[in-house]
Every structure is written in structure tokens, then in C-alpha cells.
Amino acid sequence: MSCIHRASRSSGFTLVEVLIAVAIFIAIALGVAQLIVIATRAMRAAREQTSTSILAAAKMDELRALAWTYESSMPGVPAAPQSDRMTDVSHPDHGEDGVGLEASPAGALGSNMPPWVDYLDDAGRWVGHDTDPPADAVFIRRWSVRPLPADPERTLVLQVLVTTVRDDRSRSTPWSRRTGVESLLVSVRTRKGQ
């Protein structure tokens, strides 16, 4: 009879065993859920960082493509500086009503100062270039064109900053802290051809 009694005792789980198993399962599920949340945030930040880098490089290419050379119209005549000071790089059509490589104000990277700012949607498409970002803007792209103090006639310092509208709005003051998502590119451009 003891053999029958022992078999019936080990044939199922007790309530305590089931509760312990459920508690372990819940703890594991919560850990996995937290990992998923962390991974999702990291993927979003990486995607935004990649986008800001690409958008900053694209604007830097636009600025570096503008005329900043010396050109001579006649032999024996000293070459004159040629500077693009009218292309509108804040609009994708690049009209002739802009400032080109004209020096930007001192705070151009810290706040939205047309024509040294434009806005892009989540796919990187241009959506505006006013003081305030439009509702569909995801990225803010600002740039600065400054003559190098040591050689202002020949050398420019170009800077392009791209950040998200969300991160820009979360700052207490203009450019008060880095979030790790924005990209800042700096380039030096020197006149050639003299």
C-alpha cells in the first residue's frame, strides 16, 4: 500500500510549486521586456544618429560646392576673388535669392536663424526654412559660415549641426547640452587659384 500512496503523491504539482514557477516566469518575462525596451531605444537613437550624420554631410557638400575661388578674366591681370553670395542653400531649389557663403551671425548654430536653417521630415525630405519648424519636421539643420580670423579673405570655417526637433525643444536654453543624437561637422575652405 505504501507503493500506491507514494505514486499518487508524485504524480502532480503542488500549488506552491506552481506559484514558484509562475513567479520565475514573470521575473524572466519582465527582464526580457526591459531588454526589448532598451534595445528599441538604442535602435531609434542609432537610426537618428545615422540620419543626422547623413543630413549634415549632405549640407556640408552643398556649402563646399559653392564658388570660393580666384578667377582671372584676362592674362596678366591679378585674379579676383570669386564668392557665391546669392545661392539659397536653405531651399532645395537653390534659387538666386539667398546668401551663399556670406558670413552667418554668431549664434547661427544655437538657434533657428533663416537663411542658415532648414527642416527635414523623417525621410530627410525638406519641409521648410522659417524661424519655427513646421509640424511635420523631424530634423533641424543649421549651418554657420565664418571667416577664419587669421586669414578672413581666403579661408572660411563651415559648420553644420543637425539635431531632432524633439531634442532641440527639450533643451532649457539654446544648445545647452548634447544628447548624443545630433551631428556637428566642421570644415575649412580655402580659396584656390591665385
**121-176 pLDDT, tens per residue?**
999 999 999 999 999 999 999 999 999 999 999 999 999 999 999 988 887 666 65
- Could you give the residue ranges of the DSSP H alpha helices within 113-186? 165-170
Over residues 43-63, mean pLDDT: 93
Confidence tier at 5 by pLDDT (50, 70, 90): low
pTM as predicted = 0.79
Question: To the nearest whole number, what is the mean pLDDT of the chain?
Answer: 88
pLDDT number for residue 71: 83
Cell of 173: 536654453
Over residues 11-16, mean pLDDT: 84
Is 52's pLDDT higher than 90?
Answer: yes
Over residues 83-94, mean pLDDT: 93
pLDDT number for residue 171: 73
pLDDT number for residue 76: 76
C-alpha to C-alpha distance for 174 and 71, rounded to whole angstroms: 40
Strand partners, 156: 147, 189
Confidence tier at 37 by pLDDT (50, 70, 90): very high
pLDDT number for residue 140: 96
pLDDT number for residue 104: 96
pLDDT number for residue 172: 65
C-alpha to C-alpha distance for 93 and 140, rounded to whole angstroms: 18
